[in-house]
């Protein structure tokens, strides 16, 4: 019977159909298993793997200078002054150790041996994966008074390891070119690389990075932070009014775990905690972040009770209250980190929670006792946050997501779509009733929903949660989206996977767009991280010559079109707002999936986003003026 099934459809299934991929072939056939994607993120991961190797040398105490060079030909060089990869014969393979590191998966000094006590690499695949996915890779090693070089092509040895001369330096230099057979786009972003390098310079106090871009006007940038993560917090708060003159800073080691923590409160209402484990940004937190939050909540509550900020009949301050206006960076380094998943975004070591909790509790308790003035400011702020939270509780109940089928609970102005499949549904948040009317008439009601806004929403950067939730437009957005906000946020409840901000192409439209992005960033950031938030791109002009008409989206495109059409008998209609378009025009230019252009809002650099929202939407005028003066020449569309 089994034999009959095998031949039922005329195909044979036996051992000959089982394909075994080994070594570099496995990486080249399935690169996404090792670097996540062959897009931009995976491309940059190659550089980060090499940088992390050099940082591991620094954490081991053997390196203090790392150079990253982006070459004009698309190749990259990462060099350090560490010990240099060993070149002697590896006892198990009978080949030079450097060859094992470059050609064998799970070969490295990070498996509990004496090579590295602490490292960000766990699986020994970094260098070999880079080699496998490179068109070519050239490595130079300096150690033991000698210099050695070797070349690889697509993961295979091209030349033997050669001794090329004497040297009194030590270190490793890796120069590689990503393979066009693997990566469709091979353009490295200076911004993405510098963001990673900057974070590493904060996390590794005294480690000097030099980033060189051969195509940039300012070719060389040096990152060196002797203040470590305290400098990180200081930089994040530089445009805010702070409660303490300097960031608090803790650096202690307990049971082999190095804990560094820095925090500082500002007068605003948003919190930002950046946590790291062995230099890896743990975006989903983990046991170290839980220990920190628990300690902070306990110490603030104890202080508030002891000194009468909280009365006996008042409920405790919650963790959410203690983190209002908090900027904190937590960095731990440990020997055997356990990350949940290959993405390494959440730390799972159970013992770390207690270690961080005890160290932070002791540190903050001492600080509050020794600095009563600063402690009082923090306690007063958290108590006010608790009072505002209680006032917001009723308002939040009104915005909490109801059943997706309960249309009676949805905002009255929402023209919902028929489909209940969130992955195909689109919510257009539209400026004004006039544009909302055109959008409702022009949309595809099967999967496109329209939510008109009346005027500008409240500025989420300046308003506390209770005032925010009292704003009718904010309540409508939260209810329509369906996810809830902050601690109650649940991405799985999103009623739409495309949330499109559609505003006029003028100054007011830009302001409304920025207000909405500020709200999403501060209270529904996971929507942006999931790629659900978009910005519609309505045309600026309708250009007509005879019976031919064309929509134009910026001034540069208009100049090119007029150059082709000449200027005889050409009429140009500039759209001052979406309301000037009829339903057909709005559908054809901005809402039709077959023709429209939309910008997806990304969150590649959380620190840069934090600063830009603070500058543009915060209380301080001077940083905003400086930003406008600096970037005025970059403005594309200015409506005066």
**CA-based nearest residue to 514, from 614, 598, 436, 435:** 614
Sign of CA dihedral 163, 164, 167, 170: negative
Annotated catalytic, 336? no
CA 211 – CA 220 distance, rounded (Å): 6
Give me the catalytic one of 144, 302, 508, 529: 508
DSSP 8-class letter at 589 = I
Cα of 529 vs its chain's centroid, Å: 7
Annotated catalytic, 423? no
Sign of CA dihedral 179, 278, 174, 154: negative
Task: Give the SS3 label for residue 177.
Answer: strand
**CA-based nearest residue to 36, from 446, 386, 453, 341:** 341
Task: Give the SS3 label for residue 206.
Answer: coil
Give me the catalytic one of 357, 426, 504, 585: 504
Task: Give the SS3 label for residue 348.
Answer: coil
By CB atoms closer than 10 A (0-12, 13-18, 19+), residue 640 is exposed
**CA-based nearest residue to 100, from 115, 85, 84:** 85
Find the radius of gyration of the CA atoms of the chain: 28
In the chain, % helix, strand, coil (3-state, to 5) comes to 40, 20, 40
**CA-based nearest residue to 204, from 324, 80, 308:** 80
Give me the catalytic one of 260, 506, 585, 610: 506
Give me the catalytic one of 431, 466, 473, 585: 431
DSSP annotation string for 209-221: EEEEETTSSS-EE
CA 459 – CA 519 distance, rounded (Å): 7
Annotated catalytic, 504? yes
Annotated catalytic, 140? no
CA 549 – CA 541 distance, rounded (Å): 10
**CA-based nearest residue to 101, from 65, 60, 137, 77:** 137
Task: Give the SS3 label for residue 223.
Answer: strand
**CA-based nearest residue to 67, from 235, 193, 246, 184:** 193
333 near 280, Cβ under 8 Å? no
CA 373 – CA 427 distance, rounded (Å): 48
Catalytic positions, written as ranges: 431, 504, 506, 508
């Amino acid at each position: 019977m089994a034999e009959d099934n095998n031949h039922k459809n005329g195909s044979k299934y036996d051992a000959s159909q089982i394909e075994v991929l080994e070594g570099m072939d496995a990486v080249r056939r399935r690169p996404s298993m090792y670097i996540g994607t062959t897009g931009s993120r995976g491309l940059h991961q190659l550089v980060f793997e090499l940088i992390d190797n050099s940082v591991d040398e620094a954490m081991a105490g053997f390196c203090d200078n790392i150079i990253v060079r982006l070459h004009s030909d698309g190749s990259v060089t990462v060099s350090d002054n560490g010990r240099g990869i060993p070149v002697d014969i590896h006892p198990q393979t009978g080949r030079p150790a450097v060859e094992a590191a470059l050609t064998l998966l799970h070969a490295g000094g990070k498996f509990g041996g004496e090579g590295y006590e602490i490292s960000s690499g766990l699986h020994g695949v970094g260098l070999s994966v880079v080699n496998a996915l490179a068109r070519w890779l050239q490595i130079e090693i300096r150690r033991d008074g000698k210099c050695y070089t070797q070349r690889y092509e697509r993961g295979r040895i091209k030349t033997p390891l050669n001794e090329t001369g004497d040297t009194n330096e030590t270190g490793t230099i890796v120069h590689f070119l990503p393979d066009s057979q693997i990566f469709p786009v091979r353009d490295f972003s200076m911004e993405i690389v510098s963001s990673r390098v900057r974070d590493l310079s904060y996390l590794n106090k005294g480690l000097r990075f030099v980033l060189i871009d051969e195509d940039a006007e300012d070719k060389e940038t040096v990152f060196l932070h002797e203040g470590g993560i305290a400098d990180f917090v200081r930089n994040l708060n530089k445009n805010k009014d702070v409660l303490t003159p300097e960031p608090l800073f803790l650096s202690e080691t307990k049971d082999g775990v190095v804990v560094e923590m820095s925090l500082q409160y500002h007068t605003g209402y948003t919190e930002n905690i950046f946590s790291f484990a062995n230099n890896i940004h743990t975006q989903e937190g983990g046991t170290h972040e839980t220990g920190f939050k628990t300690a902070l909540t306990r110490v603030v509550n104890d202080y508030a009770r002891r000194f009468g900020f909280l009365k006996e009949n008042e409920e405790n301050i919650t963790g959410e209250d203690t983190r209002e206006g908090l900027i904190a960076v937590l960095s731990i380094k440990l020997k055997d980190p356990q990350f949940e998943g290959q993405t390494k975004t959440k730390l799972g070591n159970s013992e770390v929670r207690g270690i961080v909790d005890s160290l932070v509790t002791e540190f903050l308790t001492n600080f509050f006792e020794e600095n009563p003035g600063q402690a009082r400011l923090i306690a007063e702020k958290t108590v006010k946050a608790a009072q505002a939270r209680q006032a917001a509780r009723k308002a939040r109940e009104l915005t909490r997501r109801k059943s997706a089928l309960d249309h009676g609970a949805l905002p009255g102005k929402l023209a919902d779509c028929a489909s209940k499949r969130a992955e195909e549904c689109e919510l257009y948040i539209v400026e004004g009733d006039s544009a909302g009317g055109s959008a409702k008439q022009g949309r595809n009601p099967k999967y496109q929903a329209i939510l008109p806004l009346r005027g500008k929403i409240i500025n989420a950067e300046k308003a506390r949660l209770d005032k925010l939730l009292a704003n009718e437009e904010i309540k409508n957005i939260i209810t329509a989206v369906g996810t809830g906000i902050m601690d109650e946020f649940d991405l799985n409840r999103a009623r739409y996977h495309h949330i499109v901000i559609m505003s006029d192409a003028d100054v007011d439209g830009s302001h409304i767009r920025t207000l909405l992005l500020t709200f999403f960033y501060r209270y529904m950031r996971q929507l942006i991280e999931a790629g659900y938030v978009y910005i519609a791109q309505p045309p600026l002009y309708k250009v007509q010559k005879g019976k031919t008409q064309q929509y134009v989206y910026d001034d540069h495109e208009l100049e090119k079109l007029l150059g082709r059409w000449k200027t005889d008998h050409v009429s140009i209609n500039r759209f001052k707002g979406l309301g000037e378009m009829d339903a057909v025009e709005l559908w054809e230019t901005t809402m039709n999936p077959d023709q429209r252009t939309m910008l997806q809002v990304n969150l590649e650099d959380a620190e840069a986003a934090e600063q830009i929202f603070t500058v543009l939407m915060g209380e301080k005028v001077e940083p905003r003026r400086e930003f406008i003066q600096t970037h005025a020449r970059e403005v594309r569309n200015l409506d005066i």
